[in-house]
Structure 1
Amino acid sequence: MISYLKGINTEIVKTINNRHILILEVNDIGYEIQVPSRLVQQLSTENSATVQIFTYLQIQEDKQILYGFATAAERDLFRQLVGVSGIGMQLGIAAIDTLGISDLVGAIVSGNISTLTKIPGVGNKTAERIALELKTKLSQWRKLAGVAIDQPASSSLPKPEILEDLEMTLLALGYSNEEIESAINAISQNDLLLKNPNVEEWIRSAIAWLGE
C-alpha cells in the first residue's frame, strides 16, 4: 500500500462527471489521484508547490485508482467509510466533502441521522447503517487520531443528577465509557426527553440507542 506521496502539484483536472484529479509529479512520474473538492480548494493556490498527499489505493480487475487526502486522519476515515456495506468510493468522497472530518465523525458517533442524510445519495437507511457500523469504532478512533468533534452544549444534556444516575447504570450494565458518551450525545438531541425528569426514561432511551 502507498501511505502517502510527496511531490509537485502539476495540475488539477475536473472530469465530465465532476471528479477532481490531481496530477502529482513524484521523481519524474505523474500520478493521477482523485481528491475531494475540499482539498482542491486548498491546492488551487499551491500550483507547482511540493505537497504531501495521503493515499488510498483501490485495486480492481481492470484498473487501479488512487484517492488522495490532506491528512492521514481524513484518509483513515475514508477507509472506515468504504468498509461499510453499500458505501462505495464516490459516496465516501462525497461524505467527507459535504460534512468535513469533524462534523462527519461527530454525526456518526452521536447517531445524528439528519446530519448524515445531508450527504448526497445517503437516505435514512444508509445513514442508520453508517452510524450503526461505525459509531463504536469511531468513538475510539477519533481520540487516537486527535479528531475534535463538537459536543452538545451543557444546556443540551440531562440535569447533573440524571446524568450521574444514567452513567452509573450504563456502566453497571457493562457499556464502555465511549459507548455511554455516544449514547448520551445522541439521545440528548431529543427535545421531549430533555424536558423529562424521569431517569428511567433516559436509561431506556440510551439502552435502545445502544442496541440499534
Structure 2
Amino acid sequence: MDHHTVLIVGRGKLAAELLQGLDGPGIAGVLPWDGRDAAVGGPCMVVHAGSGRELGDVFDFCSATGSILLDLSTAGTDYPAEAAFPLVVCPNVNMQMLSFMAMVRQSAGLFRGLDIGISESHQASKKTSPGTAVHLARSLGVPEAAIRSERDPRVQREVLGIPEEFLDRHAYHEIVIRDAQVEIRMQTRVLGKSAYASGLSQLIGIVSGKRPGPGCHDIVDLLLDGA
C-alpha cells in the first residue's frame, strides 16, 4: 500500500474533524490545504470537503502532481471533462452507508418499471445537495427532482421519529418500491456525529490499493470492482 500525505480542503465542521482525527496505516501525514507546500516526498491524496471555492486550484495541483482527489462535496461540482488525474467522487464516507449504496446499485435492475420513491432528511442547517440521495436516485433510475427532502424539525421529530437530541445532526434516507400488491421499504439512519475520519481512512486504503487511473471514478463502483 502506498503511503500518502493527505491534504484537507475546506474550513467547515467536516474538514476540521478530518484534520483532527484522520489517521491510518496508509496515511503518512495530514495537512490543511493551505499547508500543501510542506507536503514533500511521496504521493499526495487531496480530500475536498469544502464549498468548492478552491476547486480550480485543487484541479491544477492534482494535474501537475498526479495526486488523487477524493471529492466529498455534494454541491453539484462541475468536474473536468477529461481529468488528467484520478478523481474519486465520494458522496458518503460511512462504510455501512457505502455498502448499502453498493447493494442498491447491484440490485437496481431487478426493480425497473416499478414505482420507486426516495426521501431524505438532514438537519435544517444543511444547504448543499443531498449527495447520498442523489446517488441512490441515479442508481435506481429515479429523477433527482423527485427526491423528497425534509428540513422541518417538527416533521423530523413527530413523523420520521428522529430523537430530539439528533435533530441538529442526522441523515435519514428511505427507499420505497411498490406495485399494486407489494411494498418494500429500505430505511437508513445516521444519528449524531458519524465516523467520518475512520471511514475516510478506510476509503483512502481502498483507493490506494485500487490505484485508479486518470479520469472520474465513483467510489461505489471502486468498491464493487472485484467484489
TM-score clears 0.5? no
* TM-score of the pair, normalised by structure 1: 0.29
* TM-score of the pair, normalised by structure 2: 0.28
